[in-house]
């Protein structure tokens, strides 16, 4: 691919209006024929680019697969993540993030179009088909004591839930501790891993799997009943870059709050967005299995459940059967 590709994408993406081939050619010190060739290549890669005589070129739709240049532009609008690793295919963004964690001083993000070994909690499979969702791991390196981590997921789940509600007007709910649901169907799951020593947290690796553009038929048999996507709920194709922008904005806000504030500051909001109240559910954490009703969340993020025979249990990160 031409060495000008990256610069041409930047020129087009940063301009909402038509931009002339002549102008780009002069800016990049190359010929208009080169510009035309690169534009044709970009169209081939899934960009919709309109061209009009005397006006030039304009992007009308971005490709469904991640482009490093555009991700970089979106990242430059926020302050928490300094670098993006964008890959067409990985085994798992979590694994890739872990493998480069020592090379990077700053916080970064790994994004991939497709995961061949996407994983959920307890090594469960996470379906991550090509170009249909946000398969992403963010690596954060805060200076905090380990005990503070027990509320991290609560802040992040609220950030994700808020994006769905605010920008897509969908009534989504948090399933403590790490899922976002619409009705009884899972829209997003995330998991948080941590590297720490006795001095505190060295790194947080937060992997987010968010279903964006799957149709109902594109989920497997189980997923057709138990999973959903933003496309299904919203009714139109989701622009992944716009979604990424909203999500990182929301995570930045809630992560900064997490660093300085106790959970009590968001507790009421969190509880009002949570789907587990007023229902009897099965809770499993290690060997502890309880059928009961959630009654509260403690300031340390633990969930309080009252069993059917009236006993009180505290869970740190239970699996809940819906
Ligand atoms: C989660 O686990 O929900 C956390 C998923 C995290 C995935 C991200 S993607 C980027 C990063 N890289 C990775 O390899 N992982 C992270 P858990 O609560 O264990 O839920 C897993 C269960 O969700 C599975 O057993 C399925 O039942 C269901 N499931 C699998 N794929 C799904 C999908 N795409 N949408 C909805 N449900 C799914």
CATH 3.30.70.1290 at 276-321, yes or no? no
* Whole-number pLDDT of residue 213: 97
Q: Is the Cα torsion angle 248, 110, 140, 230 positive or negative in sign?
A: positive
Task: Report CA(256)–ligand 1 centroid distance (Å).
Answer: 26
Give the tens place of pLDDT for each residue, 204-249.
Answer: 999 999 999 999 999 988 788 999 999 999 999 999 999 999 999 9
Judge whether residue 202 has pLDDT over 60.
yes
Task: Report CA(131)–ligand 1 centroid distance (Å).
Answer: 16
Question: What would the CATH number be for the domain defined by 68-271?
Answer: 3.30.930.10
* Whole-number pLDDT of residue 29: 95
Q: Is 107 in the pocket of ligand 1 (CB under 6 A)?
A: no
Question: What would the CATH number be for the domain defined by 5-61?
Answer: 1.10.10.10
Q: Is the Cα torsion angle 296, 301, 302, 308 positive or negative in sign?
A: positive
Q: Which two three-digit tokens encode residue 308?
A: 């059917």
Q: Is 121 in the pocket of ligand 1 (CB under 6 A)?
A: yes
Question: Is 121 a known ligand-binding residue?
Answer: yes
Judge whether residue 2 has pLDDT over 80.
no
Q: Which two three-digit tokens encode residue 111?
A: 């994004």
Q: Is the Cα torsion angle 30, 33, 36, 40 positive or negative in sign?
A: negative
DSSP 181: E
Judge whether residue 320 has pLDDT over 60.
yes
Q: Is 111 in the pocket of ligand 1 (CB under 6 A)?
A: no
Phi, psi of 75 (to 5 degrees): -65, -30
Task: Report CA(114)–ligand 1 centroid distance (Å).
Answer: 13
Inter-CA distances, 313 with 91, 263, 285, Å: 37, 20, 11
Gap between the Cα atoms of 220 and 226, Å rounded: 10
Confidence of residue 139 (pLDDT cuts 50, 70, 90): very high
Judge whether residue 250 has pLDDT over 60.
yes
Task: Report CA(176)–ligand 1 centroid distance (Å).
Answer: 14
* Whole-number pLDDT of residue 52: 94
- ipTM of the prediction greater than 0.95, yes or no: yes
What percentage of the chain has pLDDT greater than the value 70?
Answer: 99
Q: Is 126 in the pocket of ligand 1 (CB under 6 A)?
A: yes
Q: Is 214 in the pocket of ligand 1 (CB under 6 A)?
A: no
Question: Is 32 a known ligand-binding residue?
Answer: no
Nearest ligand 1 atom, CA 229: 35
Helix (H) or strand (E) holding 203: strand 200-211
Q: Can you say whether residue 96 is alpha, beta or left, with left for phi > 0 and alpha for psi between -120 and 50 degrees?
A: alpha
Task: Report CA(150)–ligand 1 centroid distance (Å).
Answer: 20
Judge whether residue 256 has pLDDT over 90.
yes
Q: Is 187 in the pocket of ligand 1 (CB under 6 A)?
A: no
* Whole-number pLDDT of residue 224: 87
Inter-CA distances, 122 with 30, 81, 125, 139, 169, Å: 53, 27, 9, 20, 32
Confidence of residue 322 (pLDDT cuts 50, 70, 90): confident
Pocket test for ligand 1, best of 209, 220, 228, 322 (most atoms within 8 A of CB): 209
* Domain residue ranges of the chain, discontinuous segments joined by +: 5-61, 68-271, 276-321
Confidence of residue 22 (pLDDT cuts 50, 70, 90): very high
Query: For 96-106, what is the mean pLDDT?
Result: 96
User: Which residue owns the Cα nearest ligand 1 atom 9?
Assistant: 209
User: Which residue owns the Cα nearest ligand 1 atom 20?
Assistant: 120
Judge whether residue 106 has pLDDT over 60.
yes
Average pLDDT, the chain: 96
Confidence of residue 1 (pLDDT cuts 50, 70, 90): low
Q: Which two three-digit tokens encode residue 128?
A: 């991550």
């Amino acid at each position: 691919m031409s060495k000008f590709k990256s610069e041409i994408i930047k020129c087009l993406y940063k301009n909402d209006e038509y931009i002339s081939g002549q102008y780009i050619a002069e800016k990049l010190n190359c010929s208009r024929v080169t510009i035309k060739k690169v534009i044709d290549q970009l169209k081939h890669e899934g960009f919709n680019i309109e061209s009009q005589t005397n006006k030039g070129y304009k992007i009308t739709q971005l490709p469904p697969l991640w482009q490093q240049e555009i991700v970089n532009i979106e990242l430059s609008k926020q302050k928490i993540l300094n670098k993006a690793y964008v890959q067409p295919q990985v085994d798992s963004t979590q694994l890739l993030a872990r493998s480069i964690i020592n090379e990077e001083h700053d916080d970064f993000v790994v994004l991939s179009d497709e995961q061949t070994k996407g994983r959920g909690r307890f090594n469960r499979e996470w379906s991550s088909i090509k170009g249909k969702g946000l398969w992403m791991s963010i690596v954060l390196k805060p200076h905090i004591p380990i005990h503070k981590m027990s509320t991290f997921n609560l802040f992040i789940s609220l950030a994700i839930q808020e994006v769905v509600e605010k920008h897509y007007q969908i009534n989504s709910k948090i399933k403590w501790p790490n899922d976002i649901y619409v009705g009884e169907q899972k829209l997003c799951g995330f998991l948080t891993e941590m590297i720490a020593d006795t001095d505190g947290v060295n790194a947080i690796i937060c992997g987010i799997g968010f279903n964006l553009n799957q149709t109902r038929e594109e989920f497997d048999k189980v997923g057709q009943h138990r999973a959903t996507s933003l496309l299904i709920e919203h009714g139109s194709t989701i622009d992944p870059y716009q979604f990424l922008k909203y999500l990182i904005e929301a995570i930045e806000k809630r992560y900064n709050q997490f660093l300085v504030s106790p959970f009590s500051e968001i507790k009421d909001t969190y509880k009002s967005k949570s789907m587990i109240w007023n229902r009897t559910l099965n809770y499993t954490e290690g060997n502890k299995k309880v059928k009961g009703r959630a009654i509260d969340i403690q300031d340390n993020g633990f969930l309080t459940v009252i069993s059917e025979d009236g006993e009180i249990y505290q869970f740190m990160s239970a699996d809940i059967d819906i």
